[in-house]
């Protein structure tokens, strides 16, 4: 993102929620002492789960959790954009549509358009889309969930007038620095580390299991090569597709790779 | 006359709850005309997403239903799937799952008491505002919350959507050094929890007894968490597989979460229901602490839920310490060979029983899934409580006071709306 001039004293911070599990807001609520420190540095103008309700408030930084999956939410996110200087998405739902974006590519397409027990009660779209599909987003923090280091780091940078660092490296680099045994090469597991964005602390390989891509695609991913490698490990095409079409199925790089394997159009 | 008035009280965004909900209250001629806990969070349809997925993916998928209680979703799921495959992960895994679950109870209850509920009882809008006057209490609460998160991370790598659980056991056994680093903090946490229990017992809680049915798991010897039969104080005593024969779910117009009933009536799940049915299963030191309080369980004052949460924090930390103090790593689970079948899982999430049902094919793919989360079960009870509480409080009170009391009643259940709404089931009619 482009750095804008430093935010003046007592910047106003809002945390908005759309369709999500609330887990990314916990990056703040699990902050403990850091949360109290943050509350001393900024004015929290809207954060319903923390007890501050003023959804119409103007904010210098608006954090947005959750995806757009209801018609009424399209207008709400546009209003938030109009009232906010920086909009930062937190987590897989806000950044890529979340796990619920699986509805976008479902074979049974139109689940939501099909006949419900009482369909007239619902306001639900056929799709779950990221915030950036609807408004301009200044920064996207990936992860399912994002952690405190990411969100508080972003606030800290903006308070200091610098652009937060966009971590786009592949997980493999972080994993190597941890000194983990490679789950893919040595373990033969269907690890997504080679195409997944760093930031989690290489947790899964540290526990001896394969990365399942919850931080979304890294920069310049070679999903083609990884897909072939996974097939070489014995995965059938449908299983390769499901590796990509999981937590971040709405991220373009993963969606394209997943659909290619799913559709059997792979060479 | 203010006591014969018409009024419309609408709280469009409930604060200090997880997820998106609203309260609608219409008074006509001084009586409650309509009262709704309106849940408008859009459904996320997880049960449909699970269809066709490999059983190994289930723990990572269902965790995403709830950021506050992902461990509960994982535990009910692995229990159900292990029963399908005939896998017994053994005593080490069972103990460590209980440790992890203790962590979730501690963090979720500490978050609720301090960040969500206590500001109501002490007259603040938020915990941050409350921290100015009660800094030690808020910090103690945050320390307990952090300790719970560390217990989860010990076995799960992180506290939100942990990555350590698999069907058959865990991916990884913690190092002895990691466990030993936690032991002194667990001992200190037990002391903090005891102080918290006494503090909660002294909070100015409204005195409002109501008739309701409590439902919880019950185990032969343990305070219920991962295993047990489903019991109520109304005579229910069934294996978890028979849940659907006794409990009914139905859609109501004002909620994207299904309501549930037992014998046609609302019922309560969660910490107060658990404690009402299982006080005799508490660890000895927690039981002794309870006898020293001015409150007796079973209690039918819903506001004793806050105290029940504090008691469960104490019990969970005592349990976690007992399970970890002679810790030795072991093989962290069993290999799993899938086979076709049907399985049920039911565990005690922080907010109450969380029931899962899976049909699996012989390749280990999910054919069908049903998940009944605690908050959808509590919706009927919340609305019944709102009606009784507001009438007892006095409908002649000004709108703002009615609104505050109504919010306080709802919040007392610690509703997790994000979880509750993700199961609106589709009934496709084909002609």
A55 contacts B13? CB cut-off 8 A: yes
Q: Using CB atoms, pick whichever of B15, B43, B160 lies closest to residue A26.
A: B160
Question: Which chain B residue shows the shortest CA-CA distance from A122?
Answer: B256
Which B-chain residues 155-174 have CB contacts (< 8 A) with chain A? 157-161, 163-164, 166, 171-172
How close is the nearest chain A Cα to the Cα of B48, in Å? 9
CA–CA separation, A181 and A136 (whole Å): 40
Whether A166 is in a domain gets the answer no
Whether B404 is in a domain gets the answer yes
Q: Which residues, listed in sequence order, are joined to residue A65 by a DSSP beta bridge? A: A17, A90
A242 contacts B17? CB cut-off 8 A: no
**Are A186 and A220 in a shared domain?**
yes
Q: Note the pLDDT of residue B169.
A: 98
DSSP state of A237: H
Say whether residue B35 is in contact with chain A using an 8 A CB cutoff: no
| Contact (CB, 8 A) for A121 and A88 | no
- B249 burial class (0-12, 13-18, 19+ CB within 10 angstroms)? middle
Say whether residue B13 is in contact with chain A using an 8 A CB cutoff: yes
Q: How many domains does the structure of chain A reveal?
A: 2
- B62 burial class (0-12, 13-18, 19+ CB within 10 angstroms)? buried
| Contact (CB, 8 A) for A27 and A17 | no
| Contact (CB, 8 A) for B302 and B210 | yes
Q: Note the pLDDT of residue A110.
A: 52
Long-range contacts of B63-66 (CB under 8 A, 24+ apart): B63/B161, B63/B162, B64/A21, B64/A23, B64/A98, B64/A99, B64/A144, B64/A247, B64/B161, B65/A21, B65/B371, B65/B373, B65/B418, B65/B419, B65/B422, B66/A21, B66/A22, B66/A23, B66/B18, B66/B373, B66/B416, B66/B418, B66/B419
CA–CA separation, B299 and B381 (whole Å): 16
Select the highest-mean-pLDDT range: A220-224, B124-128, B410-414: A220-224
**Are A175 and A119 in a shared domain?**
no
Helix, strand, coil shares, percent, chain B, to 5: 50, 20, 35
A98 contacts B64? CB cut-off 8 A: yes
**Are A177 and A155 in a shared domain?**
no
Q: Which domain holds residue A19?
A: 12-159
How close is the nearest chain A Cα to the Cα of B19, in Å? 7
Whether B7 is in a domain gets the answer no
Q: Note the pLDDT of residue B1.
A: 41
Q: How many domains does the structure of chain B reveal?
A: 1
The arrangement of strands across the sheet holding A59-65 comes to A43-47, A12-17, A59-65, A84-90, A139-141
A124 contacts B142? CB cut-off 8 A: no
CA–CA separation, B31 and B38 (whole Å): 20
Q: Which domain holds residue B119?
A: 46-420
Tens digits of residue pLDDT in B47-68: 888 999 999 999 999 999 999 9
Select the highest-mean-pLDDT range: A76-90, A93-107, B7-21: A76-90
How close is the nearest chain A Cα to the Cα of B111, in Å? 8
How close is the nearest chain A Cα to the Cα of B67, in Å? 4
Cα torsion A239, A241, A247, A251 to 10°: value is 170
A35 contacts B65? CB cut-off 8 A: no
Q: How far apart are the first and last CA of chain A?
A: 38
Q: Note the pLDDT of residue A17.
A: 94
**Are A98 and A216 in a shared domain?**
no
Q: Using CB atoms, pick whichever of B138, B139, B163 lies closest to residue A203.
A: B163
Instruction: Name every chain B residue with its beta carbon within 8 A of the beta carbon of A123.
Output: 40, 42
Q: Which value does ipTM take for this structure?
A: 0.93
| Contact (CB, 8 A) for B14 and B23 | yes
Tens digits of residue pLDDT in B306-355: 999 999 999 999 999 999 999 999 999 999 999 999 999 999 999 999 99
How close is the nearest chain B Cα to the Cα of A242, in Å? 8
- Return the number of other C-beta atoms located less than 10 Å from residue B58's C-beta: 25
CA–CA separation, B38 and B342 (whole Å): 34
Q: What is the largest CA-CA distance in chain A?
A: 58
Question: Which chain A residue shows the shortest CA-CA distance from B414?
Answer: A49
Tens digits of residue pLDDT in A67-90: 998 888 999 999 999 999 999 999
Whether B34 is in a domain gets the answer no
**Are A126 and A88 in a shared domain?**
yes
Q: Name the region of A47 (left: φ>0; alpha: ψ -120 to 50; beta: rest).
A: beta
Whether A3 is in a domain gets the answer no
| Contact (CB, 8 A) for B188 and B318 | no
Which of B15, B21, B64 to substitute to test the interface with A, most A CBs within 10 Å?
B64
Whether B330 is in a domain gets the answer yes
Q: Note the pLDDT of residue B431.
A: 33
**Are A155 and A181 in a shared domain?**
no
Question: Which chain A residue shows the shortest CA-CA distance from B128?
Answer: A36
Q: Label residues B27-49 b or e (16+ Cβ within 10 Å = b).
A: beeeeeeebbbbbbbbbbbbbbb
Tens digits of residue pLDDT in A47-73: 988 888 899 999 999 999 999 988 889
Q: Using CB atoms, pick whichever of B18, B42, B60 lies closest to residue A124.
A: B42
Token duo for residue A108 = 């049974």
Whether A4 is in a domain gets the answer no
Summarize the confidence of residues B124-131 as an average pLDDT: 87
Say whether residue B17 is in contact with chain A using an 8 A CB cutoff: yes
Instruction: Name every chain B residue with its beta carbon within 8 A of the beta carbon of A32.
Output: 142-143, 145-146
**Are A19 and A112 in a shared domain?**
yes
**Are A222 and A141 in a shared domain?**
no
Residue A160 has pLDDT above 70, yes or no: yes
More confidently predicted of B361 and B257:
B361
Of the pLDDT bands very low, low, confident and very high (cuts 50, 70, 90), residue A5 is low
CA–CA separation, B66 and B260 (whole Å): 19
Summarize the confidence of residues A144-149 as an average pLDDT: 96
CA–CA separation, A161 and A10 (whole Å): 14
Of the pLDDT bands very low, low, confident and very high (cuts 50, 70, 90), residue B424 is very low
- A234 burial class (0-12, 13-18, 19+ CB within 10 angstroms)? exposed
Of the pLDDT bands very low, low, confident and very high (cuts 50, 70, 90), residue A113 is very low
Whether B383 is in a domain gets the answer yes
Which of B23, B39, B44 to substitute to test the interface with A, most A CBs within 10 Å?
B44
Say whether residue B426 is in contact with chain A using an 8 A CB cutoff: yes
Tens digits of residue pLDDT in B216-227: 999 999 999 999
Question: Which chain A residue shows the shortest CA-CA distance from B150?
Answer: A30
Peptide bond into A184 cis (omega under 30): no
pTM of the model: 0.94
The domain spanning residue A143 has which CATH number? 3.40.50.700
**Last residue of a domain, which of A159, A191, A212?**
A159
Instruction: Name every chain A residue with its beta carbon within 8 A of the beta carbon of B329.
Output: none
B68 contacts A26? CB cut-off 8 A: yes
**Last residue of a domain, which of A112, A129, A159?**
A159
Say whether residue B123 is in contact with chain A using an 8 A CB cutoff: no
Instruction: Name every chain A residue with its beta carbon within 8 A of the beta carbon of B429.
Output: 115
Q: Using CB atoms, pick whichever of B57, B68, B172 lies closest to residue A208.
A: B172
Instruction: Name every chain A residue with its beta carbon within 8 A of the beta carbon of B259.
Output: none
Tens digits of residue pLDDT in B144-163: 999 999 999 999 999 999 99
**Are A40 and A122 in a shared domain?**
yes
Tens digits of residue pLDDT in B247-295: 988 777 777 777 889 988 999 999 999 999 999 999 999 999 999 999 9
Question: Which chain A residue shows the shortest CA-CA distance from B126?
Answer: A51
**Are A178 and A104 in a shared domain?**
no
**Are A179 and A223 in a shared domain?**
yes
How close is the nearest chain A Cα to the Cα of B380, in Å? 18
A36 contacts B143? CB cut-off 8 A: no
CA–CA separation, A206 and A171 (whole Å): 12
Question: Which chain A residue shows the shortest CA-CA distance from B131?
Answer: A36
Tens digits of residue pLDDT in A165-186: 889 999 999 999 999 999 999 9
**Are A56 and A97 in a shared domain?**
yes
The domain spanning residue B331 has which CATH number? 1.10.645.10
**Last residue of a domain, which of A105, A124, A159?**
A159
Provide the angle, in degrees to the nearest 10, between the axes of the packed helices B135-156 and B305-324.
Answer: 50
Q: Using CB atoms, pick whichever of B42, B66, B164 lies closest to residue A21.
A: B66
Question: Which chain A residue shows the shortest CA-CA distance from B114?
Answer: A50
B66 contacts A204? CB cut-off 8 A: no
Q: Note the pLDDT of residue B428.
A: 29
CA–CA separation, A221 and B375 (whole Å): 41
Whether A1 is in a domain gets the answer no
């Amino acid at each position: 993102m482009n750095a804008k001039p430093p935010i003046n004293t007592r910047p106003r911070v809002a945390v908005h929620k759309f369709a999500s599990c609330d887990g990314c807001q916990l990056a703040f609520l699990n902050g403990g002492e850091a949360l109290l420190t943050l509350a001393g540095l900024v004015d929290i103008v809207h954060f319903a789960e923390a007890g501050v309700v003023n959804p119409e408030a103007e904010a210098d930084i608006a954090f947005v959790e959750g995806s757009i999956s209801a018609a009424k939410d399209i207008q709400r996110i546009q209003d938030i954009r109009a009232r906010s200087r920086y909009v930062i998405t937190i987590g897989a739902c806000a950044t890529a549509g979340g796990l619920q974006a699986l509805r976008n590519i479902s074979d049974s397409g139109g689940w939501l358009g099909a006949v419900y027990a009482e369909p007239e009660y619902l306001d639900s779209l056929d799709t779950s889309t990221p915030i950036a599909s609807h408004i301009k987003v200044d920064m996207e923090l990936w992860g399912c969930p994002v952690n405190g280091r990411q969100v508080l780091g972003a606030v800290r940078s903006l308070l200091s007038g610098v652009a937060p660092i966009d971590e786009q490296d592949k997980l493999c680099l972080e994993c190597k620095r941890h000194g983990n045994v490679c789950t893919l090469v040595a373990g033969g597991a269907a690890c997504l580390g080679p195409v997944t964005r760093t930031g989690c602390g290489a947790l899964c390989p540290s526990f001896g299991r394969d990365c399942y891509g919850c931080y979304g695609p890294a920069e310049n991913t070679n999903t083609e090569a990884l897909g072939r490698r996974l097939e070489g490990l014995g995965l059938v095409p449908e299983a390769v597709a499901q590796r990509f079409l999981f937590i971040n199925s709405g991220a373009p790089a993963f969606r394209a790779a997943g659909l290619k394997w799913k559709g059997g159009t792979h060479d | 006359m203010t006591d014969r008035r018409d009024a419309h009280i609408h709280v469009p965004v409930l604060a200090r709850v997880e997820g998106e909900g609203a309260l609608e209250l219409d008074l006509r001629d001084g009586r409650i005309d309509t009262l709704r806990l309106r849940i408008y969070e859009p459904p996320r349809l997880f049960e449909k997403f699970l269809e066709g997925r490999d059983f190994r993916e289930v723990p990572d998928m269902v965790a995403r239903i709830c950021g506050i209680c992902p461990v509960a979703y994982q535990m009910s799921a692995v229990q159900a799937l292990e029963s399908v495959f005939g896998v017994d992960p053994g005593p080490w895994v069972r103990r460590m799952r209980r440790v992890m679950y203790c962590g979730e109870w501690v963090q979720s209850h500490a978050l609720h008491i301090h960040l969500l509920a206590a500001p109501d009882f002490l007259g603040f809008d938020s915990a941050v505002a409350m921290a100015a006057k009660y800094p030690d209490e808020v910090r103690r609460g945050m320390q307990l919350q952090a300790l719970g998160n560390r217990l989860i991370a010990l076995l799960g790598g992180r506290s939100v959507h942990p990555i350590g659980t698999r069907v058959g056991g865990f991916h990884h056994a913690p190092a002895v050094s990691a466990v030993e680093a936690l032991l002194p903090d667990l001992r200190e946490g037990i002391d903090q929890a005891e102080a918290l229990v006494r503090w909660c017992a002294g909070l100015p809680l409204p005195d409002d007894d109501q008739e309701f049915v409590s439902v919880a798991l019950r185990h032969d010897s343990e305070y219920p968490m991962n295993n047990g039969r489903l019991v109520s104080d109304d005579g229910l005593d069934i294996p978890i597989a028979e849940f659907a024969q006794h409990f009914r779910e139905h859609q109501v117009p004002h909620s994207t979460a299904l309501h549930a009933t037992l014998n046609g009536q609302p019922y309560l799940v969660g910490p107060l229901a658990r404690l009402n049915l299982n006080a005799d299963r508490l660890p000895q030191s927690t039981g002794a602490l309870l006898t020293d309080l001015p409150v007796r369980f079973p209690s039918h004052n819903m506001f004793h839920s806050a105290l029940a949460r504090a008691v469960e924090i104490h019990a969970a930390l005592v349990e976690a310490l007992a399970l970890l103090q002679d810790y030795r790593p072991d093989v962290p689970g069993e290999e799993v060979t899938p086979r076709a079948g049907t399985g049920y899982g039911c565990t005690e999430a922080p907010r109450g029983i969380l029931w899962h049902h899976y049909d699996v094919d012989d390749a280990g793919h999910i054919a069908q899934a049903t998940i009944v989360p605690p908050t959808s079960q509590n919706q009927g009870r919340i609305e019944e409580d709102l009606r009784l509480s507001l009438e007892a409080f006095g409908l002649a009170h000004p709108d703002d006071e009615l609104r505050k009391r109504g919010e306080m009643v709802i919040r007392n259940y610690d509703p997790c709306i994000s979880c509750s709404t993700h199961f609106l089931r589709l009934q496709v009619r084909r002609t």
